[in-house]
Homo-oligomer: A and B are copies of this chain.
């Protein structure tokens, strides 16, 4: 299987955002992530790096976190 784990880069560190991701589709200002089980997440982020051999997709947030 060639699903990937999707990580969000925050402060130079990688946090797992979603595992076993089957597809990623940009939708307006968000990315739609869908995993093997059909679960969906929409995140305000952009692709930073796609490392297929490592099964790793790295995203970066497109806006500052609201804190």
Contacts and interface: CB of A to CB of B under 8 A. Distances in A.
A11 to B, nearest CB: 20
A54 B30 CA distance: 22
Chain A interface size range: 20 to 34
Contacts of A3: 52-53
Interface string A18-57: 0001111110000000001000000000111111110101
Nearest to A36: B53
A2 interface: yes
A8 interface: no
Nearest to A22: B53
Interface of A: 1-4, 21-26, 36, 46-53, 55, 57
